[in-house]
Amino acid sequence: MGGGLRDLLTPRGDRVIFWCWLALCLMSLAVLWSVTEPIIGPYENVDPGVPKSIFWRQMMWAIVGYVGLVVASRVPLRHIDNLAAIPWLVSLFLLLLVPVIGPVISGARRWIVLGPVSLQPAELGKVSCIILNASLLARGIDSQRKSLATGASLVLTVIPAMLVLKQPDLGTSLVFGAAWVAMIFWFGMPGIFLLVAATAAVSSILMFYSEAVLHQPWPWGAYLLVLLGLLYWVRWSIPAKVTMLVVNLFSGIGIPIMWGQLKGYQQDRVMAFFKPAEHAFSSGYQTIQSKVAIGSGGLFGTHYLKGTQKGLAFIPERQTDFIFSVVGEELGFVGAVFVIGLFFVIVIRGVDHAAKVRKPFSRFLAVGIVAYLTFHVVVNVSITTGLMPVTGIPLPLMSYGGSNLLVTSAMLGLLLNVSSKSFDD
Amino acid sequence: MGDSDITVRHALLRTIIIVAFAILVVNLFQMTVIRHRFWQGQALENRQDRFRVRAPRGRIYDRDGALLAANLYIADITVPRKCLTPAGPDSTLNRLIEWFGLDRWETIDKLQQQAARKDQLVLVSDASPARIFTVEERGRDLPGVKVVTHSRRQYLFGPLFAHSLGYLGEIGPADLDSTKSIYTQGDYIGKMGVEEAMEPALRGTAGIKLEEVNASGRVVGQHPVWVRDVVAGTDVHVTMSLKLQQRLAAAIGDRPACAVAVDTRTGEVLAAYSNPGFDPNIMGGSLTTKQWNELITNPDKPLFNRITQATYPPASLFKTITSLAGLSGGHIAMDSVLDGCGGGWTFGGRYFRCWKKGGHGALNHTGAMMNSCDTFYYQLGVRLQVDELAAAARSMGLGARVTTEFDDEVKGNVPDSAWYDRHMGKGKWSRGVLMNTSIGQGELLVTPIQMAVVAGRIASGGRMPDPTFVKDPAPVRRQPKALPFRAEHLSWLREAMRRTVSDGTGRAARLKTVSVAGKTGTAQNPHGDDHAWFMCFAPAEAPEVALAIIVENAGHGGTEAGPIAHAFLASYFHEDEADSVAVPVEIPEGAD
């Protein structure tokens, strides 16, 4: 480690990850500049376009993010490990505060307004949950009570996740789950768990498809018959077979119940995913417009600043959740793959660092961060390209939003921090 | 947790990440490269809306090139329907009412009448430039308020050509169903006269334009693409002459009457005026319910085109045909003298009166024509067969439509034995009907344009083609059928008609320099006073123009209709009007 001012101003650790972060921030600013150009032609209070101020705000947040990145990359990880509970408690407090003092924006309470700055406590919740889980699992890894650690981490994850779900923000609450699954996987999960989880997912999806889309019971019924046949054939213990069957039954039967719990617009979005044509002008509108934008971009795009889907205001939420549609339209396949590639380099190097470092806390932290980033990117891109139903998930570093930019930068700073150890070791 | 464990999990996690990102990239490739054309088409469809652009309607000119019907481009200021909230007008509408100084309740009432049918309601039609500027300037504060330009038909001479040119009206649902490929709702089509007859030429072809729109559906005005070009409607030149029409209308004045003049060489209608009329300029859009009710309840039927739609007994005008039928059947000679007129004639135990109570005394055939002696024609009539007279009438153009252009033209009626059998019962009628038909009364019904054709066919010896109102684009004309009368009989008739004007009942039509041939008539009207008829042609020796006039409830043809013919012909032959108007005429009381 060097010394002096230079150290204070630059992050340490994996340079490649840092350059990818910087490249993504610059891409974000470039695309936001295009998005905030005035829309073409007269409009009637439907979409007045995105104000230019958003670009300048994002630039400010990128600088703040840089500071967060540098700080997070230089803070000794053991301090973070020891104080892991504090950010979690703070975020829990803030999440509890949101329903009380948060303003309702587009039918949801997600923000806390502090003067000129609006914060999304859910963003802090994600990172603090990952840190606390990493700390917890690192302590449980060598003990005999791994199940206790698993259970405790599940509780610590579900509490903030439920609060976020109630905001409502389904997408972000799923991020908590994704990061937890990845960390538990790294913690050590018997293969049969994975198998049970996977079959449960299949059971749920088939049940949903039978019930809500096809209105016929046979796909799920057929699946259960196949499962029964396989269970009869494999040589497992009786409790394992029973567990498998029960989990599958419950995850199947639970779906209609959970479906009833979803809000109307959430149901519509899921249905729009399965039957896009019927919802082309309602809940499927966003997906269709986004696909049109990306598909019409072609190999090299319609040229920077020249996208018509963007310029004529057809892409909704084009400065936030659907910013990738603008990338696809104006920069084409090449630009879109470039952005995805930058994320890919970050996460794949992150996984490698997670495998290399010795300290369990660093490992779990890296895996959690990678899972968080991967989930965000894959789900966001899948939504904008119509592979998944619409749910509110920003594209990290790219989408406009200070909280997300700062938190993602800080998490990448932590990843850099971890990577510096993997080089040291 | 062993290192091998870590290696396996690391490899698994890596694989999951690689597969997930690979799926994204493959899907992107599929969308942007393989299905690029499809999505590009979708993007184009997204931002392009089809707009139909109406073609400017062809103008209408008179035979000398004077403009009769043109298109006026006017701007309406419209407000969206949502301005009319259940509670009353919203702030946008209130602001406009205030700025324009409109009557508040009248305006709201007007808008509410439109609200059931349209999304954009016309607040001000034919707006002044000042008001248009106000809207353009303050458009930001007036969401949804638009200036919509469109064309309106302008008839430069208003009621003068109302019936013959017709007017435009919004296409009705029935017409729309059968012509979906050509018209859309809100289009205007010709409703009468030349506008209706020449609709296919006048309307042109509407263009189709693709305009770029943004997500709120507003045209952004860049890169319009024409799918189909606008083809302007063809200009139409009618056969009528503005000058002659004006002269005719002036001569008729405000009497319920009509007159039609044809060129006997070409069949071209030179003037056709039916009174009372209406202003075709207000028929299309701005006609109020009150105005409409006035039009349809007026006892003088202003919407009725008397020239082609009204039927009257031809009265004494028909004596020309009775004479021709008698001559060609050999029942009478050109110089025959029948029993003298003592004021009437007895047939079948009934006494039939001549119009002249004191009688005409002994007359030869020509004299009978000149003095329109009924007694003479009663005697001639009974020599004829019913069907013989009917055939003669049909050969002159009666009992059938004479124009090919006007769909609303009626046929009139020429009764023959089959007709009497049908309407009175076989064997229940006698040749006594000839007593009436030979003097043009009874069941005979004709339209004024048919009588103009009769005059024209007599004048041209049957060579005059059927009448037409359109000169250019040239209409398809039917070849005239030769008359079944001998030339010497026709020239005798022309001479008899010439003498009718020079020395007989038609003296009111005399001109100074040109000899006129004509026949007067007085049609019995069971509902009121008799209708005055006159038909004529001139010059008598080499006819150019034929004319038929009827003045309703006016009395005698010679005194009422004759001067109209005189005024028209004086104008046609460029006689100095001051010299020619006051031709002293002495016509016996009650002459027809």
Three-state secondary structure call for residue B268: strand
Q: Does residue B166 contact residue B281 with C-beta atoms inside 8 Å?
A: no
Contact A299 B20 (CB under 8 A): no
Contact B216 A337 (CB under 8 A): no
Q: Does residue B258 contact residue B308 with C-beta atoms inside 8 Å?
A: no
Task: Please report residues of A whose CB lies closer than 8 A to that of B224.
Answer: none
* pLDDT more than 70, % of chain B: 93
Query: Per residue in A371-391, is it b (16+ CB within 10 Å) or e — as a string?
Result: bbbbbbbbbbbbbbbbebbbb
Span A152-165, pLDDT tens digits: 888 999 999 999 98
pLDDT score recorded for residue B582: 43
CB-based contact (8 Å) between A41 and chain B? yes
CA distance B374 to B74: 60
CA distance A25 to A58: 9
Contact B43 A292 (CB under 8 A): yes
Span A100-153, pLDDT tens digits: 888 887 777 888 888 777 788 998 999 999 999 999 999 888 777 777 888 888
Burial class (CB in 10 A: 0-12, 13-18, 19+), B71: middle
CA distance B356 to B341: 9
Q: Does residue B522 contact residue B557 with C-beta atoms inside 8 Å?
A: yes
The topology under which CATH files domain B51-238 is Penicillin-binding protein 2a (Domain 2) (3.90.1310)
The mean pLDDT value of chain A amounts to: 86
CB-based contact (8 Å) between A380 and chain B? no
Contact B32 A289 (CB under 8 A): no
pLDDT score recorded for residue A47: 58
Q: DSSP assignment, residue B82?
A: G
pLDDT score recorded for residue A191: 65
Task: Please report residues of B whose CB lies closer than 8 A to that of A387.
Answer: 23-24, 27
Q: Which residues contact B485 (CB under 8 A, 6 or more apart)?
A: B324, B327, B328, B392, B395, B462
Interface ipTM: 0.89
Span B255-280, pLDDT tens digits: 999 999 999 999 999 999 998 899 99
Residue B51: its H or E element = strand B48-53
Q: DSSP assignment, residue B57?
A: P
Average pLDDT over residues B402-428: 89
Nearest CA in chain B to A47: B216
Give the pair of three-digit tokens for residue A328.
């696809």
Contact B214 A294 (CB under 8 A): no
Span B43-76, pLDDT tens digits: 888 777 777 888 889 999 999 999 999 998 888 8
pLDDT score recorded for residue A3: 59
Q: Where are the domains of chain B?
A: 51-238, 242-580
The topology under which CATH files domain B242-580 is Beta-lactamase (3.40.710)
pLDDT score recorded for residue A280: 64
Q: Does residue B522 contact residue B555 with C-beta atoms inside 8 Å?
A: yes
Q: Does residue B399 contact residue B411 with C-beta atoms inside 8 Å?
A: yes
Q: DSSP assignment, residue A282?
A: T
Rg of chain B over CA atoms, in angstroms? 35
The model's confidence at residue B285, banded by pLDDT at 50, 70 and 90, is low
Task: Please report residues of B whose CB lies closer than 8 A to that of A295.
Answer: 31-32, 35-36, 38-40, 42-43
Average pLDDT over residues B455-481: 89
Query: Which of A46, A351, A382 is the closest to B10 by Cβ?
Result: A351
What are the residues of chain B with a beta carbon less than 8 Å away from any beta carbon of chain A?
1, 5-7, 9-10, 12-14, 17-18, 20-21, 23-25, 27-29, 31-33, 35-36, 38-40, 42-43, 46-47, 143-144, 212-216, 218-222
Least confident of A34-38, A260-264, B449-453: A260-264
Residue B352: its H or E element = strand B350-353
Mutation site, B3, B19, B26, B28, interface A, largest A CB count within 10 A: B28
pLDDT score recorded for residue A45: 45
pLDDT score recorded for residue A44: 47
Which residue in this structure is represented by tokens 């007895």?
A: B346
pLDDT score recorded for residue A425: 41
CA distance A409 to A25: 10
Contact B17 A351 (CB under 8 A): yes
- Measure in Å the smallest separation between the Cα of A35 and chain B Cα atoms: 15
Contact B218 A42 (CB under 8 A): yes
The model's confidence at residue B4, banded by pLDDT at 50, 70 and 90, is low
Contact B24 A308 (CB under 8 A): no
Pick from B228, B185, B187, B184: which is nearest to B207 by CA?
B228
| B539 preceded by a cis bond (ω within 30 of 0) | yes
Q: Does residue A400 contact residue A54 with C-beta atoms inside 8 Å?
A: yes
